[in-house]
Amino acid sequence: MGLGYVGLPLAIEFARSGFNVTGIDPDKRKIKAIFDSQSYISDINSEDIKTIVSQGYLSATTDFSALEDIDIIFICVPTPFSKCKEPDVSYIIDASNTIVKHMKKRQMIILESTTYPGTTEEVVLPILESGGKKCGTDFHLVFSPERVDPGNRTFTIKNTPKVIGGTDETSTFLAKELYSQVISSHLVVTVSSTRIAEMTKLLENIFRSVNIALINELTFLADRMGIDIWEVITAASSKPFGFMPFYPGPGVGGHCIPVDPYYLSWKAREYDFYSKFIELAAEINLSMPRYVVSKIADALNESGKSIKGAKILAMGVAFKKNINDARNSPALKVIEELYKKEAVVSYNDPHIKSVGNGSELFCVTSGMGTIHSESITAAKLRQYDCVVILVDHDAFNIPFIVKNSKLVVDTKNVTSGIKPAKGARIVKI
């Protein structure tokens, strides 16, 4: 259930292993895309969809009655937050309500959506039992967090360890057998409860959020002290133990790092507990787009220009490199801030053709109408007052961009070792 960034790769992996997989999603465009063999996720090859659909291993539908014929149901629905950053588990509730209507005996239900500890047993289980069937005897229930890392070519579903926590030992055992058909059994990590599995995923994402925030804060300090933070990180990374590099950037984006930590800080309040690290990390990471804009303003100022009226090209709108996902992208926040200050902003992103209202399928709304990815040529680059590199896509020809730009603001250290053209400048965050 849910054929998005998590559900589609999972469906494909199980189909490839010989399971008969049905993808169910209310979004008709995704169902059509699957039957048309049109991948909408950069990590998934359209040819792969074509092969498994034509071999009959994968089908897709918006009709939830298909659940009646299914033995194992994966819930891969969104878990966003509200405007006030409170968890929104309504998609999980809707999916559970739908399952109970079509439930048959001996089904196994696996929740893969990231959520706060307690969701599986406090939210999903009571709904599933409301139809009269008992968990453990009539059906099995498991939480197994998805760890897919979009754009990562080294670690995929097949070679990334999978954590599994069932509502009872039998559920955990069955889920281990199941996942072992797709990944090696030594990569399946069983834990003693659904809550441990739920908390494990949050720990992983909070770990990233806090460490990114630490390096972002040190970036502010290094800037004031006139120290190149990137060189410091490279030098510290030579330590073979006890150090793991994290890098500054325009902020955190996507469906996970900016969202998931709030799921735990919200749940913590039920226990009269206030997680200071989670809130502090969010505050620092959220301040990064404005910091980038202030660096652009300072850099333009040195050239005797103001942001207002400046022609600025943003390189990249995806929330990270080599993907076509712009959800919660900090690059879009930088663009919006520049737009509010009346800069004339354009962007280039080889993975995302347009952003904003009415934009390309599956892109987010940036709040400033629809803008389209600009092509870049040497002549066009020379016309911009500033080119700001917000994403380190492999497809960007950085030497070419630097060679033809008057001013480059680099938030990713991709210009390292490249000299600006005569009279031009590179400014790093």
Ligand X SMILES: NC(=O)c1ccc[n+]([C@@H]2O[C@H](COP(=O)([O-])OP(=O)(O)OC[C@H]3O[C@@H](n4cnc5c(N)ncnc54)[C@H](O)[C@@H]3O)[C@@H](O)[C@H]2O)c1
User: Which position among 53, 58, 141, 148 is part of the footprint of ligand X (CB under 6 A)?
Assistant: 148
The CB density around residue 235, as the number of other CB atoms within 10 Å, is: 9
Q: How far is CA 101 from the centre of its chain?
A: 31
Our finding on whether 219 is near ligand X (CB under 6 A) is no
Our finding on whether 1 is near ligand X (CB under 6 A) is yes
Minimum distance of ligand X from residue 366's CB (angstroms): 17
Q: Tell me the longest C-alpha to C-alpha distance in the chain.
A: 76
Give the x-and-dash track for 5-24 against ligand X (CB under 6 A).
xxx----------------x
* Binding region for ligand X (CB under 6 A) out of 25-33, 100-108, 120-128, 156-164: 25-33
Minimum distance of ligand X from residue 404's CB (angstroms): 34
Which one, 146 or 385, has the nearer CB to ligand X? 146
Ranges within 76-105 binding ligand X (CB under 6 A): 76-79, 91, 94-95, 98
Q: What is the distance between the terminal CA atoms of the chain, rounded to a whole angstrom?
A: 41
Beta bridge partners of 81: 87
Ranges within 49-78 binding ligand X (CB under 6 A): 76-78
Minimum distance of ligand X from residue 88's CB (angstroms): 10
Minimum distance of ligand X from residue 242's CB (angstroms): 28
* Binding region for ligand X (CB under 6 A) out of 145-153, 176-184, 234-242, 403-411: 145-153
Helix %, strand %, coil % for the chain, to 5? 40, 15, 45
d(CA 73, CA 94): 14
* Binding region for ligand X (CB under 6 A) out of 4-12, 226-234, 243-251, 272-280: 4-12
Minimum distance of ligand X from residue 372's CB (angstroms): 23
Our finding on whether 30 is near ligand X (CB under 6 A) is yes
Our finding on whether 2 is near ligand X (CB under 6 A) is yes
Phi and psi, residue 138, nearest 5°: -90, -30
Cβ pair 300, 306 in contact under 8 A: yes
Beta bridge partners of 24: 61
The CB density around residue 20, as the number of other CB atoms within 10 Å, is: 13
- Residue 19 CB partners (closer than 8 Å, separation 6+): 57, 181
| Count of residues of this chain found to bind ligand X when the rule CB under 6 A is applied | 27
Minimum distance of ligand X from residue 371's CB (angstroms): 22
Minimum distance of ligand X from residue 326's CB (angstroms): 12
Q: How far is CA 197 from the centre of its chain?
A: 19
Q: CA Rg, the chain, in Å?
A: 23
Give the x-and-dash track for 245-264 against ligand X (CB under 6 A).
----------xx--------
Handedness of CA 348, 335, 219, 205 (dihedral sign): negative
Work out the angle at residue 113's Cα, subtended by the Cα atoms of residues 107 and 116, and round it to the nearest 5 degrees: 110
Phi and psi, residue 347, nearest 5°: -140, 160
Q: How far is CA 249 from the centre of its chain?
A: 15
* Binding region for ligand X (CB under 6 A) out of 44-52, 117-125, 146-154, 228-236: 146-154
- Residue 359 CB partners (closer than 8 Å, separation 6+): 353, 365, 370
H-type helices in 17-73, by residue range? 28-35, 46-54
Our finding on whether 26 is near ligand X (CB under 6 A) is yes
Query: How many CA atoms, within 13 angstroms, populate the side-chain half-sphere of residue 414?
Result: 24
Which one, 35 or 91, has the nearer CB to ligand X? 91
Ranges within 257-296 binding ligand X (CB under 6 A): none
User: Which position among 25, 337, 349, 392 is part of the footprint of ligand X (CB under 6 A)?
Assistant: 25
**Residues designated as active site:** 256
Our finding on whether 164 is near ligand X (CB under 6 A) is no
Give the x-and-dash track for 108-137 against ligand X (CB under 6 A).
-----xx-----------------------
Phi and psi, residue 410, nearest 5°: -110, 115
Minimum distance of ligand X from residue 110's CB (angstroms): 12
Binding site for ligand X (CB under 6 A): 1-7, 24-27, 30, 76-79, 91, 94-95, 98, 113-114, 146, 148, 150, 255-256
